[in-house]
Chain A
Amino acid sequence: MKVWATSTRWSLGMKMSLTAGLVMGALVAFSASHHAAADELRGTGDMGLVVERATGSLLVVENTTRTQLARVEGLGDLSHASIVYSRDARYGYVFGRDGGLTKVDLLTAKIDARVIQAGNAIGGAISQDGRLVAVSNYEPGGVKVFDAKTLKLVADIPTGSKTVGLVDAPGNRFVFSLYDEGAIWVADMSDPHTPKITKFENVGTQPYDGLISPDGRYYIAGLFGEDGMVMLDLWNIDKGPVRILDGYGRGEEKLPVYKMPHLEGWAMANGMAFVPAIGHHEVLVVDTTTWKEVARIPSHGQPVFVMAQPDGRQVWVNFAYPLNDTIQVIDTQTQKIIKTLTPGKGVLHMEFTPRGEDVWMSVRDLDLIKVFDTATFEQLAELPGLKPSGIFFTWRSGRIGL
């Protein structure tokens, strides 16, 4: 059993060019914050990782006390990095842009294993049984599957296309989309060394990301090249993919999209799904029983993440450059924007505490992580971070598709 104690991990900035005095100051602060937890056993349920994209580092954080516990360095190019967790919620698997797959131990704040598995990667997923970690790659295009314990390669699934929107699905399957080919593939990993692939071709132009509903039934890919999304009902997979929200922007001029929206923050709340429009400053609302559009909510800018609180009562939205200093909150009952916050330039990501009383957001250009009360919208805390981007809490460990 590991104890939350080892204390030599604060090598934070030695490689960075600072003055010695400042290094000492930072080290003292680190030691102080760390010392409180020394010699104590602890769980990881209120912990998480924050990506520091420019420095290739991660912050280990605790959302009960709203504090940083440690920094882990040496993770390469973390632009567009994302993280999934082992089912014991002790290890984070970090998918880096440069093809790096890194297994990080939250308790020791150390890298447990790391491989460079491709030239250019975009995200990943962990299997239902927790034994396999899959990474979707741009270059070479495809999915590689690794042993979650050792990061040894288990299976290679070349697609001949940039591969996006990779999620786990029940039945130990991975589902992903082929950006260049306009296809959705389902890989059954029941026999990990010989994946059984089901391919759906010509589903739409340029699927740019995908998500799966929290029950693992519906896989939905967003299309960049068309106004619409594609839905695959995994309970009735023989019916194949169907188009939803077809032509949602028809007749309207598309606005420039300075950041691609992300669909991993599935906002399903109150019987509706809330998704970003592409090239329109709108959040689209779909009824999840009929899959018909029920509303369009005009928004401050091009939505990037549209994320529901765990209770589904409110949906939080951030926006693309240059309107990325603002967050808007939608009431899911009235489908109206009830609050507009301006946390600062470069709000890149949000994450809720496990039961949703707080929301954390990374404000890249201020080098801050801000924490807000989701009921009063008051700011509760701020934590320093270096160009923070993705925030990932360990509650994701037990959730399908996250």
Chain B
Amino acid sequence: MKHWDLKVWTPKPVLKLGAFYAVLALVTGSVAAAAVAKDISPERKNELRYVLEQDCGSCHGLTLKGGLGSPLLAGKLTDRDATDLASIILDGVPGTPMPPWRPLIQPHEALWLAQILKSGDLGQ
């Protein structure tokens, strides 16, 4: 068996990180949201980003431009409230393939996901 060591290089992140907290504060303009973000450990945030890209990406596209599911690009979410998006994440959309993620994702984590989707800056 031939091997080359792919561990030596990592795929370029699809989504780039800016000053995450600054963007978050801009988007929400609230101290409460900053608290939401702080309550989630960096490890968990990485897990959530991974789920967002890979598993949400199964239906919404790896680049979030949509598929069976709607596009989740920031430009498509400007009219949507972060709290409403969070409740869609948690409870799904009945009558569509969008499942309820409540068994796997906490409410404050869903809100954080909604906020970073709206900001368009998912971090890395």
* A residues with CB within 8 A of B: 13, 15-18, 22-23, 25-26, 29-30, 32-33, 53-55, 65-68, 77-80, 97-98, 119-120, 122, 138-139, 162, 179, 206, 208, 224-225, 256-260, 321-322, 346, 364, 367, 381, 383-387
**What would be 28 A-B contacts, judged by CB atoms less than 8 Å apart?**
A18-B9, A22-B8, A26-B5, A26-B6, A26-B8, A29-B5, A54-B11, A54-B62, A65-B2, A66-B1, A68-B4, A79-B62, A97-B62, A120-B61, A120-B66, A179-B68, A256-B92, A256-B103, A257-B97, A257-B99, A258-B55, A258-B104, A259-B55, A260-B58, A321-B55, A384-B4, A384-B7, A386-B6
- Which residues of chain A are within 8 angstroms of B58 by Cβ–Cβ distance? 79-80, 259-260
Q: A16-B9, A322-B104 are in contact. Are A29 and B3 (CB under 8 A)?
A: yes
Q: How far is the CB of A356 from chain B (nearest CB, A)?
A: 20
Main secondary structure of the interface of B (DSSP, over half): loop
Contact with A along B59-82 (1 / 0, CB 8 A): 101110111100000000000000
Contact of A258 (CB < 8 Å), options: B11, B61, B99 = B99
Q: A25-B5, A80-B67, A224-B97 are in contact. Are A260 and B11 (CB under 8 A)?
A: no
Contact of A139 (CB < 8 Å), options: B7, B55, B66, B99 = B66
Question: Quick check: A256 and B6 within 8 Å, CB to CB?
Answer: no
Q: How many B residues touch A, CB cutoff 8 Å?
A: 35
Q: Does B95 contact A (CB under 8 A)?
A: yes
Main secondary structure of the interface of A (DSSP, over half): loop
Q: How far is the CB of A129 from chain B (nearest CB, A)?
A: 31
Q: How far is the CB of B2 from chain A (nearest CB, A)?
A: 4
Q: A26-B5, A97-B61, A120-B67 are in contact. Are A54 and B14 (CB under 8 A)?
A: yes
Given A30-B4, A258-B101, output 7 extra A-B contacts at Cβ < 8 Å: A26-B8, A32-B2, A55-B12, A98-B65, A122-B67, A139-B66, A384-B7
Question: Quick check: A33 and B4 within 8 Å, CB to CB?
Answer: yes
Cβ-closest 8 pairs across A and B: A29-B4, A256-B99, A384-B6, A79-B62, A22-B8, A33-B2, A18-B9, A67-B2
Question: Quick check: A26 and B62 within 8 Å, CB to CB?
Answer: no
- Which residues of chain B are within 8 angstroms of A139 by Cβ–Cβ distance? 66
CA distance A139 to B10 in the complex (A): 31
CA distance A122 to B67 in the complex (A): 8
Contact of B11 (CB < 8 Å), options: A67, A259, A387 = A387
Residue of B nearest to A260 (CB): B97
Q: How far is the CB of B98 from chain A (nearest CB, A)?
A: 10
Question: Quick check: A367 and B6 within 8 Å, CB to CB?
Answer: yes
Residue of B nearest to A13 (CB): B9
Q: Does B123 contact A (CB under 8 A)?
A: no
Q: Does B107 contact A (CB under 8 A)?
A: no
Question: Quick check: B9 and A225 within 8 Å, CB to CB?
Answer: no
- Which residues of chain B are within 8 angstroms of A364 by Cβ–Cβ distance? 54
Question: Quick check: A138 and B66 within 8 Å, CB to CB?
Answer: yes
- Which residues of chain A are within 8 angstroms of B120 by Cβ–Cβ distance? none
CA distance A54 to B1 in the complex (A): 25
Q: How far is the CB of B14 from chain A (nearest CB, A)?
A: 7
- Which residues of chain A are within 8 angstroms of B4 by Cβ–Cβ distance? 25-26, 29-30, 33, 68, 384
Q: How far is the CB of B64 from chain A (nearest CB, A)?
A: 10
- Which residues of chain A are within 8 angstroms of B99 by Cβ–Cβ distance? 256-258
- Which residues of chain B are within 8 angstroms of A78 by Cβ–Cβ distance? 62
- Which residues of chain B are within 8 angstroms of A162 by Cβ–Cβ distance? 68
- Which residues of chain B are within 8 angstroms of A32 by Cβ–Cβ distance? 2
Q: Which of B4, B14, B92 has the most CB of A within 10 A?
A: B4
Residue of B nearest to A258 (CB): B99
- Which residues of chain B are within 8 angstroms of A80 by Cβ–Cβ distance? 58, 67
Question: Quick check: A387 and B54 within 8 Å, CB to CB?
Answer: yes
Q: Which of B2, B7, B14, B66 has the most CB of A within 10 A?
A: B2
Question: Quick check: A208 and B97 within 8 Å, CB to CB?
Answer: yes
